[in-house]
């Protein structure tokens, strides 16, 4: 392992650990309405918005009202995006004169971006006008992660014994106090580091060979900032952060990796501040951090060891650099890919299809779990889902009613949590099964053997996890995948969130019970081990069979030097 790799990892991981406490404290001040430095310039703007919406900072909603506000607002954004994409050719800022999007692609794209998934069945530089990029999709990249963070805040308040709050107040404050200021800072840094940001037409350059090369450009720096701060992941160009236009250097690669995790990790510490359980927050950070490091090792070391078939012909010591960017190196590529899967961002700094099976398994692991920090608010919500399930299972083993944060976990909470947990694998496995069993689904598979199954499974997993990344060997632009994956991302986004909101409200109105010697502490190394084991076992029972047919089978066939043509 090189010094540059160790330094890159240390800067990204150390930066996130150092920043999560001050960022979490800032978030706590914002969402408990305490004074901050941004009050003077932003409070008048926020008050105008609140007056327009007929809400105030102290208004609150119940779980159903909060959930309906979340869903209906997202629905309006989705419909608006669909209509604007369908009439792209009539709208301004279209110097390349791109045509309207088809109905299927418009639905898939609108559904994907409004659910914070950013699954892209199109090539941005060949399909989208500047207006579609910054006026439609980038707008969604701000408001949809903000709405997810708002739901996470409501859930945290419920667990801490506070009222859930008002969706529109939370949405506004996430935008004005968190995402917009951070996006301005990161956007200016990216411009300074060479990322273009312009509305000028594409460049048409003459090469030394006498050919004409079209170089796409546009408002890319601002896009990159919110793409990663909001765990959006959709690339301005088809190559995403593997393109030097979006990610020109090792330094921008490090900054994008930090931007992905800045707010999600801070949300874990914010949970500790709201509940008064800072040790529990650090325990959850340790669990997610352990899984993060496991994924990083699974991605880096097999790729550095190289392809077994290539090694067998005498080329030992050559890392598997196919589909990777030399300017980023394997260390920079690995930390970026780990972050994009852990934080459910979905942007990529390399071709996902070029990775070996074990790194591919790590990609699946991040999306199956969907709580290795995850997206802001929603990742914490999924982690707490596993906490509740673990406490319930522990209660069954000792014959005691389980408790969490001084509240009893009973049938209603367990049923809703189990529903949220089971929905994720249901969408992935049923969607993949339909694709495998139908000619329309199989028509989009370009790779034979177990990798072809992995391609299909990856598409539905990415959609269900609101990740949005894709392997390159699946024809995602076919109508079957446009509709099926578009449907999966909608159900996955809203159904589980509604269930967990109801759990939070249920615990809010329960009476606190005194802690006794029989109460299981959740802020100890013992609970860290039990929670980690429960997460691994529950997901292994759910996904191991299909993994055995996909990346695991591919790995052993690769060791046997078996190729598929």
| DSSP secondary structure, 185-222, as one string | HHHHHHHHTT--B--SPPEEEE-TTS-EEEE--SBHHH
pLDDT digits (tens, 9 = 90+) for 372-389: 998 888 889 899 999 999
Is pLDDT of 255 > 90?
yes
| pLDDT tens digits, 519-563 | 778 888 999 999 999 999 999 999 999 999 999 999 999 988 887
262 close to 23: Cβ distance less than 8 angstroms: yes
State the pLDDT confidence band at 142, using cuts at 50, 70 and 90. Answer: very high
> Residues of the chain with pLDDT > 90: what percent?
67
**Start-to-end Cα distance in the chain:** 34
CA distance 65 to 463: 26
| Tokens read off for 132 | 């579609």
Average pLDDT in the 341-349 region?
A: 92
Per-residue confidence (pLDDT) for residue 406, from 0 to 100? 84
More confident residue, 130 or 448: 130
Question: Does residue 504 have a pLDDT over 70?
Answer: yes
> Is the full-model pTM beyond 0.85?
yes
Is the pLDDT at 124 greater than 80? The verdict is yes
DSSP-assigned letters across all residues of 462-492: HHHTT-----TTB-TTSHHHHHHHHHHHHHH
Give the DSSP H/E element, type plus range, for residue 408: strand 407-408
Task: Give the residues across from 213 on adjacent strands.
Answer: 205
Best-predicted range by mean pLDDT (205-209, 249-253, 398-402, 447-451): 249-253
pLDDT for res 518: 67
pLDDT score of 319 more than 80: yes
pLDDT at residue 399 tops 90? no
Q: Is the pLDDT of residue 118 over 80?
A: yes
- Share the mean pLDDT of the chain: 91
- Looking at the predicted structure, is the pLDDT value of residue 105 above 80? yes
Quick one: which H or E segment has residue 358?
helix 357-369
Contact 406, 389 (CB under 8 A): no
Q: Long-range contacts for 55-60 (Cβ within 8 Å, ≥24 apart)?
A: 55/166, 55/168, 55/169, 56/169, 57/33, 57/166, 57/169, 59/166, 59/169, 60/163, 60/164, 60/165, 60/166
E strand or H helix at 404:
strand 403-404
Summarised one tens digit per residue, pLDDT across range 330-341 is 999 999 999 999
Write the DSSP string, 85-141. Answer: HHTGGGSS--TT-PPPPPHHHHHHHHHHHHTT----SS-HHHH--HIIIIIIIHHHH
CA distances from 535 to 131, 196, 291, 371, 540 (A): 43, 42, 10, 10, 8
Radius of gyration of the chain (CA): 23
The residues that bridge with 203 in the sheet, in sequence order, are 215
The stretch 436-457 carries a mean pLDDT of 90
Predicted pLDDT at 405 = 85
Residue 268 and residue 380 in contact, taking contact as beta carbons nearer than 8 Å: yes
What is the arithmetic mean of pLDDT over 473-500? 88
Residue spans per domain, the chain: 3-202+212-275, 278-559
Helix (H, G, I), strand (E, B) or coil at 378: helix
Look up residue 178 and give its DSSP letter: I
């Amino acid at each position: 392992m090189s010094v540059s790799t160790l330094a890159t990892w240390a800067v990204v991981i150390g930066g996130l650990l150092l920043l999560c406490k001050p960022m979490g404290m800032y978030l706590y001040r914002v969402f408990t309405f305490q004074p901050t430095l941004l009050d003077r310039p932003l409070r008048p703007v926020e008050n105008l918005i609140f007056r327009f919406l007929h809400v105030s900072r102290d208004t609150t909603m119940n779980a159903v009202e909060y959930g309906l506000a979340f869903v209906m607002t997202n629905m309006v954004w989705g419909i608006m995006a669909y209509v604007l994409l369908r009439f792209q050719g009539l709208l301004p800022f279209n110097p390349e004169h791109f045509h309207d999007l088809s109905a299927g692609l418009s639905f898939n794209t609108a559904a994907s971006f409004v659910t914070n998934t950013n699954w892209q069945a199109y090539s941005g530089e060949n399909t989208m006008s500047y207006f579609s990029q910054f006026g439609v999709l980038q707008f969604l990249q701000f408001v949809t992660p903000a709405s997810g963070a708002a739901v996470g805040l409501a859930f945290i308040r419920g667990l801490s014994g506070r009222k859930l709050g008002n969706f529109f107040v939370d949405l506004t404050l996430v935008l004005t106090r968190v995402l917009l200021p951070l996006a301005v800072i990161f956007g200016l840094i990216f411009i300074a580091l060479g990322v273009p940001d312009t509305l000028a037409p594409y460049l048409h350059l003459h090469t030394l060979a006498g050919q004409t090369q079209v170089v796409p450009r546009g408002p890319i720096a601002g896009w990159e900032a919110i793409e990663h701060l909001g765990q959006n992941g959709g690339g301005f160009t088809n190559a995403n952060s593997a393109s030097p236009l979006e990610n020109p250097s090792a330094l921008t690669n490090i900054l994008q990796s930090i931007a992905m995790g800045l707010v999600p990790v801070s949300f874990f510490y914010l949970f500790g501040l709201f509940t008064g359980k800072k040790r529990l927050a650090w325990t959850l950070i340790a669990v997610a951090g352990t899984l993060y490091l496991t994924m990083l090792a699974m991605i880096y070391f097999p790729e550095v060891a190289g392809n077994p078939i290539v090694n067998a012909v005498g080329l030992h010591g050559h890392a598997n650099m196919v589909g990777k960017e030399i300017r980023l190196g394997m260390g920079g590529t690995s930390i970026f890919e780990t972050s994009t899967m852990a934080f459910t961002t979905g942007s990529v700094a390399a071709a996902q299809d070029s990775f070996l099976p074990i790194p591919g398994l790590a990609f699946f692991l991040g999306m199956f779990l969907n709580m290795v920090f995850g997206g802001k608010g929603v990742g914490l919500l999924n982690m707490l889902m596993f906490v509740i399930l673990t406490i319930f299972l522990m209660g069954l083993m000792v014959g005691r009613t389980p408790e969490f944060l001084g509240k009893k976990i009973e049938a209603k909470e367990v049923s809703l949590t189990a529903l949220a947990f089971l929905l994720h694998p249901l969408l992935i496995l049923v969607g993949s099964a339909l694709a495998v069993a139908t000619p329309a689904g199989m028509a989009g598979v370009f790779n034979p053997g177990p990798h072809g199954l992995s391609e299909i499974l990856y598409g539905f997993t990415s959609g269900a996890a609101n990740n949005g990344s894709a392997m390159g060997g699946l024809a995602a632009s076919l109508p079957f995948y446009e509709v099926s994956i578009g449907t999966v991302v909608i159900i996955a986004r809203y159904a589980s969130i509604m269930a967990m909101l109801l759990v939070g409200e249920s615990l809010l109105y329960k009476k606190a019970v005194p802690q006794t010697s029989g109460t299981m502490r959740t802020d100890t190394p013992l609970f860290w081990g039990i929670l980690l084991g429960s997460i691994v076992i529950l997901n292994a029972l759910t996904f191991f069979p299909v993994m055995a047919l996909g990346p695991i089978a591919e790995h052993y066939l690769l060791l046997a030097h078996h190729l598929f043509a």
